[in-house]
Chain A
Amino acid sequence: MDLYEYEAKKIFAEGGITVPPSVRITKPEELAKVHFGFPVTLKVQVLAGGRGKAGGIKFAKDLNEGQELAKTLLKMVVKDSKTESLLVEPKLNIKKELYLAVTLDRERGCAIFIASAEGGIEIETSDTVITMPIPNPYHPYVGRELARKLGFTGNLLVKVADVASKLYKIFEAKDLDLAEVNPLIITEGDEVLALDGKITVNDDALNRQRYFDGWLERHTMDLSERERRSKMIGLNLVELDGNIGILCNGAGLTMATMDMVKKFGGRPGNFLDVGGGSDQEKTLEALEIVNDNPECDVMLLNILGGITACDEVASALVKFIKKYPERKLVVRLRGNNQDVAEKILAESGLKLIPDLEAAVKEAVAQSTSVTKKPVGAKA
């Protein structure tokens, strides 16, 4: 779960990291609440990255200019992500900008600091980046070593090290995938502040992080209706721009099936993994989600029943076909209880194709010969 900047900063502040004073507004007239005087910075609160480049950060010299800017900014959409609110902060005198983040490193299998003595940068393309593995349990000397490597001495070394240690503590305590301060700034008065921040909470930890209870709803606003429906029943749907709706069991097999569709000249319309051991009801809902894509011309169902019983899938299919008799459907079922599934489906007239490549080719052939558009439910 990605958080908004203002939420990340609230968490930083609670963890002892200094952030600038701020006011969050959802209407232009609320700008009157600003208690730190003008000029100010107005920043759109969106979940997508790259808002600065998109024009989502503006400076206002007074209240009038601020309110005019706020009107436009509040309506802004950055990469499909709607502006939730504006964060207003005083314009600060910056002496130096840094980049500082904590994340998990796949290769090393542990948490790492990522830091740079240049702030506000594109961290993936910068060559000034330092990475440092973080031992568990944590000790503050690690933060001091990082600050030293960044070139700090004296009082600032101690201050930057302290921020690093606090950032790691937040990362660990809140089960984060990413805690990023970009930039971390040093003011003319040698104050160290988190000017902008990003936090990603690990989705699998949400059920044990009571702090985030009820947060998921307002952080999935950018999902499509079908993506949200899938999430509700614990499935993972990714929308693609093709016309072959895909439903499989297992993430790897679903990807491989999409890849084969493309290889044989078709266009996959989505990724949907129905998971292992899904029952009839869940399978039927998954079929409906794929069916409801207006771009979908043909549905390709690929189930390799290892643990998943083919007969459960077959029963869901029978119901689906009754409801949507016009829907073009190619089904590959193989494995556990395949014979029972064949019997269940015999009446529906649906022919099963046990060979995967043959099924994919059939779906591609049907998808390229389609002229008719979406198929609604039978009255």
Chain B
Amino acid sequence: MILIDKNTKVMVQGATGKMGSSHLKRMLAYGTKIVAGVTPGKGGTEVHGVPVYDSVKETVEKTGATTSVIFVPPYLALDAGLEALDAGVELICLITEGIPPQDTAKLVAAVKEKGAKLVGPNCPGVITPGQCLIGILPGQIFSAGKVGMISRSGTLTYEIALALTDAGLGQSTCVGVGGDPIKGMGYQELLQMFNDDKDTEVIVLIGEIGGNAEEVAAEFIKNNIKKPVVGFIAGVTAPPGKRMGHAGAIISGGKGTAESKIAAFKENGIHVALTPSEVAQMVAKAVPQLVKA
């Protein structure tokens, strides 16, 4: 597993808002070690039995939390992220959608400077099945196992996780990196982590149209990744110049097409699935010993 496990101490920033509190409850129910919520001005209260503090610094001092899941509104996200970094949080999972990209760019620069990690924004979060869930992923769809997943999408990740689970292929960790053009952790960093992780035997990479991250990742995989990789690219039928839901999912100036990404995968020896159930079939074929009876 990577990034999170059963011992990860998690705080929720924006814990008393509608989205924050409902997902805090889900994460607790899944078994995530949620040690605190943070909402300025609500310190001393509780949310679903979890203590709420006024600041991240205070939370870190009192609970030793190392990871923060952020649910604050878009224009407050940069401030919340910088506050977490300043307090020494090591992993930030930024769920919020609709953050102006110049704010994200500032946060990404600060994350690099601190040597911390950022997942997101506009992402479903991270799950190490059976141990820890941070974000909004539906835990019941995932199962523990040896498949590492990296994805730019939310529900498509669930669809593929469902296909894997149905086929008896559990997951080590699934990371939703988010659908924005400017973001924290990307493919390469996570591919390397999965490559080095003893619990992961095969990696599923779920990309989509827009940008050239998949093309860059394909070459990186060829040169650095020793484990089999199965790829999936959404948006073969997407027209150019149109934003397909995600801020980053756009073919512009003829660049960022699904064809180009699929071709890059194939050229670099990555299996490419064309449907979610094909992903499961290809994983099973690549590592037959994983299929449970």
**Cβ–Cβ < 8 Å partners of A254 in chain B:** 244-245
Beyond the given A107-B212, A124-B254, please list 11 additional residue pairs across the A-B interface where CB-CB is below 8 A.
A106-B212, A236-B243, A238-B238, A238-B244, A253-B153, A255-B237, A256-B276, A268-B237, A271-B238, A305-B138, A357-B275
Chain A 242-285 interface 0/1 with B at a Cβ cutoff of 8 Å (1 = within): 00000011111111101111110000100101001000000000
Interchain nearest-CB distance for A220 vs B (Å): 13
Nearest A residue (CB) for B106: A136
Q: State the CA gap A306–B183 with chains docked (Å).
A: 24
B100 within 8 A of A: yes
Nearest A residue (CB) for B210: A106
Q: When the two chains form their complex, are residues A249 and B155 in contact, meaning their CB atoms are under 8 A apart?
A: yes
Among A260, A262, A273, contact of B245 (Cβ-Cβ < 8 Å): A273
B247 within 8 A of A: yes
Q: When the two chains form their complex, are residues B108 and A109 in contact, meaning their CB atoms are under 8 A apart?
A: yes
Chain A 201-239 interface 0/1 with B at a Cβ cutoff of 8 Å (1 = within): 010110110000000000000000000000000001010
A interface majority secondary structure: mixed
A177 within 8 A of B: yes
Q: When the two chains form their complex, are residues A251 and B236 in contact, meaning their CB atoms are under 8 A apart?
A: no
Q: When the two chains form their complex, are residues B236 and A262 in contact, meaning their CB atoms are under 8 A apart?
A: yes
Report 22 cross-chain contacts, Cβ distance below 8 Å, ordered by A residue.
A109-B183, A110-B108, A136-B109, A205-B100, A240-B239, A250-B153, A250-B154, A250-B155, A250-B245, A251-B154, A252-B153, A252-B206, A254-B244, A255-B234, A255-B237, A256-B156, A256-B234, A256-B276, A259-B274, A263-B236, A304-B162, A336-B138
Q: When the two chains form their complex, are residues A110 and B105 in contact, meaning their CB atoms are under 8 A apart?
A: yes
**Cβ–Cβ < 8 Å partners of A110 in chain B:** 105, 108-109
A335 within 8 A of B: yes
Given contacts A250-B156, A252-B179, A252-B206, A202 and B235 within 8 Å (CB-CB): no
**Cβ–Cβ < 8 Å partners of A252 in chain B:** 151-157, 179, 206, 208, 234, 245-246
Nearest A residue (CB) for B246: A251
A342 within 8 A of B: no
Q: When the two chains form their complex, are residues A253 and B105 in contact, meaning their CB atoms are under 8 A apart?
A: no
Interchain nearest-CB distance for B56 vs A (Å): 23
Question: By CB atoms of chain A within 10 A, which of B75, B155, B159, B183 has the most?
Answer: B155
Q: When the two chains form their complex, are residues A109 and B182 in contact, meaning their CB atoms are under 8 A apart?
A: yes
Q: When the two chains form their complex, are residues B100 and A304 in contact, meaning their CB atoms are under 8 A apart?
A: no
Q: State the CA gap A107–B235 with chains docked (Å).
A: 20
**Cβ–Cβ < 8 Å partners of B242 in chain A:** 238, 271
State the total of A-B contacts with C-beta under 8 angstroms: 165
**Cβ–Cβ < 8 Å partners of A238 in chain B:** 238-239, 242-244
List residues of chain B with CB under 8 Å of any chain A CB: 74-75, 98-102, 104-106, 108-109, 136-138, 141, 151-159, 162, 179, 181-183, 206, 208-209, 211-213, 216, 232, 234-239, 242-249, 253-255, 258, 274-277
Interchain nearest-CB distance for A117 vs B (Å): 21
Q: When the two chains form their complex, are residues A357 and B102 in contact, meaning their CB atoms are under 8 A apart?
A: no
Q: State the CA gap A145–B65 with chains docked (Å).
A: 44
**Cβ–Cβ < 8 Å partners of B239 in chain A:** 238, 240
Among B208, B237, B245, B274, contact of A240 (Cβ-Cβ < 8 Å): B237
Q: When the two chains form their complex, are residues A251 and B179 in contact, meaning their CB atoms are under 8 A apart?
A: yes
Q: State the CA gap A299–B108 with chains docked (Å).
A: 41
Q: When the two chains form their complex, are residues A263 and B274 in contact, meaning their CB atoms are under 8 A apart?
A: yes
A295 within 8 A of B: no
Q: When the two chains form their complex, are residues A106 and B248 in contact, meaning their CB atoms are under 8 A apart?
A: yes
List residues of chain A with CB under 8 Å of any chain B CB: 104, 106-107, 109-111, 124, 136, 172, 175, 177, 202, 204-205, 207-208, 236, 238, 240, 248-256, 258-263, 268, 271, 273, 276, 304-307, 334-336, 356-357
Q: When the two chains form their complex, are residues B105 and A111 in contact, meaning their CB atoms are under 8 A apart?
A: yes
Q: State the CA gap A104–B99 with chains docked (Å).
A: 14
Q: When the two chains form their complex, are residues B159 and A253 in contact, meaning their CB atoms are under 8 A apart?
A: yes
Interchain nearest-CB distance for B32 vs A (Å): 16
Nearest B residue (CB) for A273: B245
Q: When the two chains form their complex, are residues B101 and A104 in contact, meaning their CB atoms are under 8 A apart?
A: yes
Nearest A residue (CB) for B238: A255
Q: When the two chains form their complex, are residues B211 and A106 in contact, meaning their CB atoms are under 8 A apart?
A: yes
Among B104, B155, B213, B277, contact of A253 (Cβ-Cβ < 8 Å): B155
**Cβ–Cβ < 8 Å partners of B183 in chain A:** 109
Nearest A residue (CB) for B157: A252
Question: By CB atoms of chain B within 10 A, which of A240, A254, A271, A306 has the most?
Answer: A306
Q: When the two chains form their complex, are residues A106 and B237 in contact, meaning their CB atoms are under 8 A apart?
A: no
Interchain nearest-CB distance for B100 vs A (Å): 4
Given contacts A106-B182, A124-B254, A306-B141, A271 and B244 within 8 Å (CB-CB): yes
Q: When the two chains form their complex, are residues B236 and A335 in contact, meaning their CB atoms are under 8 A apart?
A: no
Given contacts A106-B181, A107-B216, A268-B237, A251 and B138 within 8 Å (CB-CB): no
Interchain nearest-CB distance for B29 vs A (Å): 13
**Cβ–Cβ < 8 Å partners of A106 in chain B:** 181-182, 211-213, 248
Question: By CB atoms of chain B within 10 A, which of A110, A238, A252 has the most?
Answer: A252
Interchain nearest-CB distance for A263 vs B (Å): 6
Interchain nearest-CB distance for B75 vs A (Å): 6
**Cβ–Cβ < 8 Å partners of B158 in chain A:** 250, 253, 304, 306, 335
**Cβ–Cβ < 8 Å partners of A260 in chain B:** 274-275
Interchain nearest-CB distance for A178 vs B (Å): 10
**Cβ–Cβ < 8 Å partners of B104 in chain A:** 109
**Cβ–Cβ < 8 Å partners of A356 in chain B:** 159, 275-277
Q: State the CA gap A305–B99 with chains docked (Å).
A: 25
Q: When the two chains form their complex, are residues A306 and B102 in contact, meaning their CB atoms are under 8 A apart?
A: no
Q: When the two chains form their complex, are residues A202 and B234 in contact, meaning their CB atoms are under 8 A apart?
A: no
**Cβ–Cβ < 8 Å partners of A109 in chain B:** 104-105, 108-109, 182-183
Q: State the CA gap A122–B269 with chains docked (Å).
A: 34
Q: When the two chains form their complex, are residues A255 and B137 in contact, meaning their CB atoms are under 8 A apart?
A: no
